[in-house]
Amino acid sequence: MSAALMETPAATGQHNWEVDPILTVEHLTMRFGGLVAINNLSFNVGRGDITALIGPNGAGKTTVFNCVTGFYKPTEGRIVMRHGPGRQQEAVDKLTASGFKWQKAQDSAVFLLERMPDFEISQHAKVARTFQNIRLFGGMTVLENLMVAQHNMLMTASMFTVGGIVGLPSFREAEKGAVEKAKYWLERVNLTSRADDPAADLPYGAQRRLEIARAMCTEPHLLCLDEPAAGLNPRESAELNEILQYIRKEHETSVLLIEHDMGVVMEISDHIVVLDYGVKISDGDAQHVRTDPSVIAAYLGVEDEEIEDTPEIASLVVEALGEEAAVEAGIEVPPSKDGDRP
């Protein structure tokens, strides 16, 4: 499998995620007691890219997320987050050697996420996330949810509450600005009419959108979405695509997402990383991953060789990936089965 990796075009260094990565995960290992959830995983997230992390259930995708956002402390490995262009290799090396968590220069900064607690990662390194099982503040209104997301900015503006109690005009200004920003995002995710309703009252799809809006209110450089399309109907799924495209284009926010909906993944991702049993099995653009036999094997739960040998499995592959991809992957399309499918 590793041999397949080396042959990817990434090795030549022409991809954005190689040249200008915002996040690099290096030799990440996470063990829970005897269980190795992630084993020596390395991948890059390109600046301005939409990167998808895919893999079968239990492959360790959410664990990667939890490591990146600080909810787990990785057993081994380094996770580097960069503000400002380029790899900044020198700064990263210096920071690693020192005991510090981050290092800021004029218009760039590097952060070692594995050294930082979760709230600092959001506050300083500007990595925001959403959750697989939606975590909104259900008893607070939609608008309040977005205000809580701007906590750190408002806290500074209120001079850590002292200025807020006496009602400083500068704090009132900041609060007005926060409401404006919340309104902007409400409009983007199409929830303006429900701004004063409790978040728990929203339908499922709207809750997903609100969670994304809330994450965006922290002004992240990297937005991590854990299965944003789970449970959405096709129309909502299309809306989500639009929102993600918009975020990437207008806000220069890079997106890292876990997703099972291959329609969403293939359509919007610039870069796909495939995990299976905590190991990276494929890494490249949509075209590359789609035709990678090891990916197909992982999704079907069989060995690589079996795919081509067994006609039943080959037909499943065709069903899952489409004829074109199957042909490209070197799998013969069994003609008889074709007509039966609706």
Partner 1 sequence: MSATTMNPANAAAAERNSFQSSVKDAALAALLAGVLGFFFLGLRTDIAPGGLALSTRWSLWLTAIAIVFGGRLALNLFVFKTDRPVTGLLSVFTSRAGAATAGWGWWIGRLLFAIALFLPFIIMQMFPSQQRQLIDLAILIMTYIMLGWGLNIVVGLAGLLDLGYVAFYAVGAYSFALLSTHFDMIGFWTALPLAGLLAAFWGLILGFPVLRLRGDYLAIVTLAFGEIIRVVLLNWYDFTGGPNGISGIPKPTLFGMEFVRGDDGVAAFLGLEFSTIHRFVYLYYIIFLLAIITNIVTLRLRRLPVGRAWEALREDEIACRSLGINTTNTKLTAFAIGAMFGGFAGSFFATRQGFISPESFTFLESAIILAIVVLGGLGSQVGVVIAAVVMIGGIEMLRNIGFLQAVFGTGFDPTQYRMLIFGLAMVGIMIWKPRGLVSSREPTVVLKEKKKIGADMVSQGEGH
Report which of 86, 77, 73 is spatially closest to residue 46, judged by C-alpha positions: 86
Nearest to partner 1 of 128, 289 (CB atom): 128
**Structure tokens that stand for 69 in this block:** 């956002």
Tell me the closest approach of the beta carbon of residue 138 to partner 1, in angstroms. Answer: 6
* Whether the Cβ atoms of residue 127 and residue 69 lie closer than 8 Å to each other: yes
* Whether the Cβ atoms of residue 23 and residue 222 lie closer than 8 Å to each other: yes
DSSP 8-state code for residue 198: B
Nearest to partner 1 of 161, 233 (CB atom): 161
Measured distance CA(176)–CA(172) in Å, rounded: 6
Helix, strand, coil shares of the chain, percent, nearest 5, are 50, 20, 30
Nearest to partner 1 of 168, 302 (CB atom): 168
Tell me the closest approach of the beta carbon of residue 113 to partner 1, in angstroms. Answer: 13
Residue 61 as a binder of partner 1 (CB under 8 A): the answer is: no
Report which of 330, 283, 331, 298 is spatially closest to residue 8, judged by C-alpha positions: 283
Residue 184 as a binder of partner 1 (CB under 8 A): the answer is: no
Measured distance CA(108)–CA(235) in Å, rounded: 39
Residue 147 as a binder of partner 1 (CB under 8 A): the answer is: yes
Considering only 71, 184, 238, 261, the residue that binds partner 1 (CB under 8 A) is 71
With the C-alpha atoms ordered 292, 295, 299, 304, is the resulting torsion angle positive or negative?
Answer: positive
- Beta-strand relationship, 50-54 and 271-276: parallel
- Expressed in angstroms, the distance from the first to the final Cα of the chain is 35
Measured distance CA(14)–CA(320) in Å, rounded: 30
Contacts with partner 1 by CB under 8 A: the residue count is: 45
Residue 159 as a binder of partner 1 (CB under 8 A): the answer is: no
236's enclosing H/E stretch is helix 234-251
Q: Which stretch binds partner 1 (CB under 8 A): 149-157, 254-262, 270-278, 297-305?
A: 149-157
Phi, psi of 270 (to 5 degrees): -90, -20
Residue 143 as a binder of partner 1 (CB under 8 A): the answer is: yes
Q: Which stretch binds partner 1 (CB under 8 A): 25-33, 126-134, 228-236, 310-318?
A: 126-134
Phi, psi of 125 (to 5 degrees): -80, -10
Considering only 165, 306, 332, 334, the residue that binds partner 1 (CB under 8 A) is 165
* Whether the Cβ atoms of residue 221 and residue 83 lie closer than 8 Å to each other: yes
Nearest to partner 1 of 104, 135 (CB atom): 135
Considering only 1, 4, 5, 148, the residue that binds partner 1 (CB under 8 A) is 148
Considering only 4, 5, 36, 179, the residue that binds partner 1 (CB under 8 A) is 179
The pattern of x and - marking residues 104 through 123 that bind partner 1 according to CB under 8 A reads --------------xxxxxx
Q: Which stretch binds partner 1 (CB under 8 A): 99-107, 127-135, 252-260, 329-337?
A: 127-135
Residue 302 as a binder of partner 1 (CB under 8 A): the answer is: no
Rg, C-alpha atoms of the chain: 22
Considering only 56, 84, 164, 322, the residue that binds partner 1 (CB under 8 A) is 164
Q: Which stretch binds partner 1 (CB under 8 A): 4-12, 33-41, 213-221, 285-293?
A: 213-221
Report which of 69, 73, 29 is spatially closest to residue 45, judged by C-alpha positions: 69
Tell me the closest approach of the beta carbon of residue 126 to partner 1, in angstroms. Answer: 9
Q: Which residues bind partner 1 (CB under 8 A)?
A: 69, 71, 118-123, 128-129, 131, 135-141, 143-144, 147-152, 154-155, 158, 160-161, 164-165, 179, 183, 192, 195-198, 200-201, 214-215, 218
